[in-house]
């Protein structure tokens, strides 16, 4: 993971509470603020298919290029995905779907995200989540969102080159609007609808995208074509390379 120390004055008027993104990462990975999530992440039994594997069982930090223009924000790690592998969007069905689209859009060198040592490299792209610990039923509580929000805010502030934030699902979208509002943006009337985009003064454009969870992808609510098209639109609007053409 490319983690140089970017500018500490990432967005106008913001002084960052962490010296570098690496320091932030250390704090996140050691966090035990949410007792329900700590218990869940540490005790959930390994799935039969992964028995014998050493689950990560800690908070999961963002991954990718810290100078990225495209930032992808999901909800939280999956119990047997990020919580097992230790990398966001890695090792589960959502990751599989997402990564094929990122690869098609020219933002990832591979079309699969399997483990921390699989050689995946994101180019001009960084992915993270609103909540860093796997929640039971993929549903963090409001309090857990609040507890984790300072980490998301600080991480986004470090991504000072970002031009587009793609929020995967309504809850991630809400977290991004909260961040933008706290940075002075007017967000009233903005609603989640796949494909919508919202521009702000001096902040990245926010794109709403359905979450690539099996609930959405198996039912056809979100197709790979839809997701890739949205990534391609965002990359084009940000001036990022044209992307792969194969679907
Ligand atoms: S969800 Fe966030 S705030 Fe809660 S324990 Fe995990 S890292 Fe800490």
Identify which of 120, 164, 141, 154 has the alpha carbon closest to the alpha carbon of residue 76.
Answer: 141
Does residue 37's CB lie within 6 angstroms of at least one atom of ligand 1? yes
Pocket test for ligand 1, best of 25, 30, 31, 61 (most atoms within 8 A of CB): 31
Pocket test for ligand 1, best of 34, 76, 151, 171 (most atoms within 8 A of CB): 34
Quick one: pLDDT at residue 245? 35
Identify which of 188, 187, 189, 231 has the alpha carbon closest to the alpha carbon of residue 209.
Answer: 231
Does residue 144's CB lie within 6 angstroms of at least one atom of ligand 1? yes
Does residue 164's CB lie within 6 angstroms of at least one atom of ligand 1? no
What's the longest Cα–Cα distance across the chain? 50
Kindly give, in sequence order, each residue whose CB lies less than 8 Å from that of residue 168, ignoring residues fewer than 6 positions away: 72, 73, 74, 75, 98, 209, 210, 211, 212
Domains present along the chain, CATH in parentheses: 21-238 (3.40.470.10)
Q: 224-238 vs 93-104: helix axis angle to the nearest 10?
A: 50
Quick one: pLDDT at residue 16? 73
Does residue 25's CB lie within 6 angstroms of at least one atom of ligand 1? no
Quick one: pLDDT at residue 151? 96
Rg (alpha carbons) of the chain, rounded to whole number: 17
76 Cα to the center of ligand 1, angstroms: 10
Does residue 81's CB lie within 6 angstroms of at least one atom of ligand 1? no
Quick one: pLDDT at residue 239? 86
Quick one: pLDDT at residue 17? 81
Quick one: pLDDT at residue 15? 63
Pocket test for ligand 1, best of 42, 60, 74, 131 (most atoms within 8 A of CB): 131
Strand order in the sheet with 197-198: 63-64, 125-129, 70-74, 164-168, 205-209, 197-198
* pTM for this prediction: 0.92
Torsion on CA atoms 171, 138, 226, 238, rounded to nearest 10 = 50
122 Cα to the center of ligand 1, angstroms: 25
d(CA 15, CA 190): 27
Quick one: pLDDT at residue 13? 55
Taking a C-beta distance cutoff of 8 angstroms, is the pair 210, 169 a contact? yes
26 Cα to the center of ligand 1, angstroms: 13
In this structure, are strands 164-168 and 197-198 parallel, antiparallel, or unpaired?
unpaired
Does residue 76's CB lie within 6 angstroms of at least one atom of ligand 1? no
Mean pLDDT by 10 residues, the chain (247 residues): 42 71 96 98 97 96 97 98 98 98 97 97 97 97 97 95 97 97 94 97 96 97 98 93 43
Quick one: pLDDT at residue 246? 35
């Amino acid at each position: 993971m490319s983690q140089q120390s970017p500018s500490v004055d990432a967005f106008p008027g913001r002084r960052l509470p962490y010296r570098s993104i690496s320091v932030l990462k250390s704090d996140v990975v050691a966090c035990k603020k949410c007792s329900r999530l700590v218990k869940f992440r540490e005790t959930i039994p390994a799935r039969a298919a992964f028995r014998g594997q050493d689950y990560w069982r800690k908070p999961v930090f963002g991954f990718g290029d810290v100078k990225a223009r495209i930032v992808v924000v999901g909800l939280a790690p999956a119990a047997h995905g990020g919580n097992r592998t230790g990398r966001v969007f890695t090792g589960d069905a959502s990751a599989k779907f997402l990564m094929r689209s990122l690869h098609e859009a020219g933002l990832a060198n591979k079309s699969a995200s399997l483990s921390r040592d699989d050689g995946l490299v994101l180019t001009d792209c960084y992915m993270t989540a609103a909540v860093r610990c796997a929640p039971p039923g993929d549903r963090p509580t409001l309090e857990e969102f609040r507890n984790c929000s300072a980490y998301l805010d600080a991480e986004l502030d470090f991504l000072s080159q970002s031009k587009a934030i793609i929020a995967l699902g309504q809850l991630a979208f809400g977290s991004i609007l909260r961040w933008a509002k706290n940075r002075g943006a007017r967000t009233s009337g903005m609603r989640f609808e796949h494909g919508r985009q919202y521009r702000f003064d001096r902040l990245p454009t926010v794109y709403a995208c359905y979450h690539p969870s099996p609930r959405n992808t198996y039912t056809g609510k979100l197709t790979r074509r839809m997701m890739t098209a949205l990534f391609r639109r965002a990359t084009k609007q940000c001036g990022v390379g044209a992307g792969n053409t194969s679907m």
